[in-house]
Structure 1
Amino acid sequence: MEYHDSEKAVEVAARVEAFMEEEVLPREREALRTQERISEDEIHEFWELAKERDLFAPQVPEEYGGQGLNFQDMLPSFEQVGRSLFGALSIRANAPQEGNMHTIEMAGTDEQKEEYLHPLVQGDIRSAFSMTEPLDGGGSDPKMLKTTARKDGDEWVINGHKWWTSDGYNADVLLVMARTDLDAHPYEGTSIFLVPTDLDGVNVVRNVGHLGGHGIVDIERGHAEIKYEGVRVPEEALLGEEGGGFRLAQLRLGGGRLTHCMRYSGMAERSLEISKAYLQDRHAFDGTLSEKQALRHRIANAETQLHAARTMVRHAARELDDSDARIEVAMAKLFTANVTNDIMDLAVQCLGGNGIGKDLPVAYFYESVRPFRIVDGADEVHRRSIARHAFDDVYDEDMENVLTFDSDLDMT
């Protein structure tokens, strides 16, 4: 399908596709065949190859070491990297790192960018977004946030309990959401802090076991449970404005939802390609499986739904340039999450034993895609926002704008 992406977007996406076909997918196939996991050193080698091809960190401004693509132009490239189990990681376009880079770029001071953004883009340090809390804390209902940051002289003292902090297990710096004004509504009294993990009181409890993951990459990532116990940070650790944490998080998550949509669309596209190739080769019941009408119709439905999802994401991206596009993004995320789940399930069914086996990437895709209906806003949260818009409920637009996000849990 042609989506009338810009000439720049098409050109870069073509080069990313070539990089996937020539460098990334051959190594992925080898890892699947041998069950030999891809090392962190190898990932760094892919980064150097991506730099040589001017593909490294496409979403980051050139002054910080990226390619400087605007949001709409980078989306087709994100779809291409989604076709591989480690494609996004291979060019430094993986979540949550790309979202954290964007957040620091948007709100960071020059000093913060120098200390964190430059090394983060180059992969010299890791970051994590620490927002979601255990039971009775903040999650799909973010106003339940319990972590606090109290001013003490020229320092902030942070206390709280988080989990599902993506990449938090080995992070060097954490973007921590905390209540800074308990007398104000949480939407107006919450801030974000840059917290180095080597500070006293930052206690990484464990890496929470979860469904899905990289599968073939030998890098301990996961989603950490972290306790902040009297953690002291200087005033300069505040990211953006005091009390502006929810608005900053919403800016981060709006675009992040769409990049997730494109990566998962890439997974779905490749799963369909593998399924169609198998159905054309597999003979049973007096013909190839591709000749069976039931399967043909299910593939046709999947192709149609995937096309609709891609179109919705591009439309939301265009709107995001001029407004918060809250409802457009919610619709695109909700629809794409369910479509990609359905397509991955269909791919496993079409492939039979090969679908549940791990010689092919489809089983890994299947594990990874199910959390997408929960992360970056559960289906129910997005439906809530869409329904309120549909029924024209009376609400404070600014407050509703920050309601539709959940944990930064990410499986890409």
Structure 2
Amino acid sequence: MTHIRHDTVIVGGGLVGGLTALLLQKEGVQPLVLDIAPTLDAAKVLEHVDTRVLALNTATLHLLETVNVWQNIRRHAPYTGMHVWNKNGHGEISFGQPSLESPPQKDWLGSMVEPSIINLAIQQRMLDVLTNYRTSVSVKYVEPDAQGWCITLNNDEKIYTRLLIGADGANSLVRKHADIEVKILDYKQAAIGCAIKTKHVHHSVARQIFLPTGPLAYLPLAVTQNEEQNTWQSIVWTLPDTLCQQYMQLDDQAFKQQLTQSSLYLQGGVVEVSKRASFSLKARAAKHYVKPGLALVGDAAHVIHPLAGQGVNIGCLDAAILVDVLIQDWKNTGQWASKTALKKYERRRKMENEMTMHSMSFMNWLQRSDLTAVIWARTFGLKQVHRFSPLKNRFMRQASGLSVLAKSRYRL
């Protein structure tokens, strides 16, 4: 029996999977995208403000502009400055500078975007330019066959492909059914996320204070037009598991007081708070990113601690580098998704991502330690980075993701 075999199937249509698909489409490859999410209703998405935001760096914004997605983002909050400091120490570091309303894009360090808003823009673009994009699709299992991979859907439909890309998140079914092991590091921490309104405006600055219990981030949040701008922010408050449970049980008034006191009255204190959500924190690292005819990208390949907000950005870099090596190898050899190309992708991304993951884990431990020597070392380190411009500029370029893109067709 003859089966129709696709060149590329992507399981997952979120930011990373959608970006991968759109980058491929721009290079002349039409992938089939299987998205578990339904077709979104733009009006419903826009009327609701998501209290969680993604901190998109310069490289991610550039990639989204490349595939004509960023131009259709309906709501976002650019940030022009970052300020990081430790409660138990005197070290601090700042990047960029505060800004008034509507800062010009040349001054942005990045922008805060709600996941629902980015998913809407990604989906609308895929609906416009992809010939094979399917929503509300559930995958039952995947298995290798003689010429690639077979995907079986929940309705028992079978789809065959030469290249399968797993972009289906931290609990990736593609990774599981491909028998790729994953290492898990449980931080014994959880994070509280919600929207807050502060007494003073944020001036487009993302702030993070390292508390003895874990980092607390204040991130600019774009709100609907009838709300007061520049005083709403999204928080990510990392806490030990038991303390997180206690804070989640507080009523709104008590939580506002606790947050205001813990942050040392940051931005003048909290005057309003939205409904809270919590999520456990675990790092994940796939043992392999590739198998013959298969590649993992984004959270399917790695999950890191959120303290630097880099998780989604390194996932977008995965998408860019995977497409870059696939297209380059295809043009040079005429082969699609060769073993050589996939291994090159793994070499370029796996070690760098694992170094980022371990550095975030180390920073998390370093900032929580109350040992005198550690307090001195982290204070000294922050001061040196802050004062030494070449080191600070290198740190900023690394955080922007531009150093990775510089080695690809997507360099700025």
Tell me the TM-score range normalised by the shorter chain. Answer: under 0.3
TM-score between both structures, scaled by the size of structure 1: 0.27
TM-score between both structures, scaled by the size of structure 2: 0.27
* Structure holding more strand per residue: 2
* Structure holding more helix per residue: 1
